[in-house]
Amino acid sequence: GDSVTQMEGPVTLSEEAFLTINCTYTATGYPSLFWYVQYPGEGLQLLLKATKADDKGSNKGFEATYRKETTSFHLEKGSVQVSDSAVYFCALTGGGSEKLVFGKGTKLTVNP
């Protein structure tokens, strides 16, 4: 079945550092890909998404590009802030289904 693998955390960075969180997937057909963020005490929020190959999703300075050839959707941000501290989940929907398949989540801590 479909699956998502993302880098295990936790990840600790200093403010203004460059962030990459790797995500690869296994799916039949052409899945849609998502990054969700969960801030402490809150529900998951959609951060960005891409629905077809070579699409780039972006939001709040974060970017991820749908790479079909490498089945990847890595999350990047050029300069992280303390307020970016959260847990990040990579996810997909595939096969015409709206069911989300999640990775395990990566906890990011950004220190001042």
Residue ranges that bind another protein, judged by CB under 8 A: 4, 36, 41-46, 89, 98-105
Closer residue to another protein in complex, CB, 17/24: 24
Alpha carbon distance 43, 24 (integer Å) = 23
Q: Which residue from 32, 43, 22, 46 is spatially nearest to 108, judged by alpha carbons?
A: 22
Least distance (Å) from another protein to the CB of residue 112?
Answer: 26
Q: Give the nearer residue to another protein in terms of CB position, either 69 or 98.
A: 98
Instruction: Identify which of 111, 107, 109 has the alpha carbon closest to the alpha carbon of residue 6.
Output: 107
Q: Taking the complex as a whole, how short is the minimal distance between the CB of residue 105 and another protein, in angstroms?
A: 7
Give the separation between CA 76 and CA 20, rounded to whole angstroms: 5
Smaller CB distance to another protein: residue 42 or 69?
A: 42
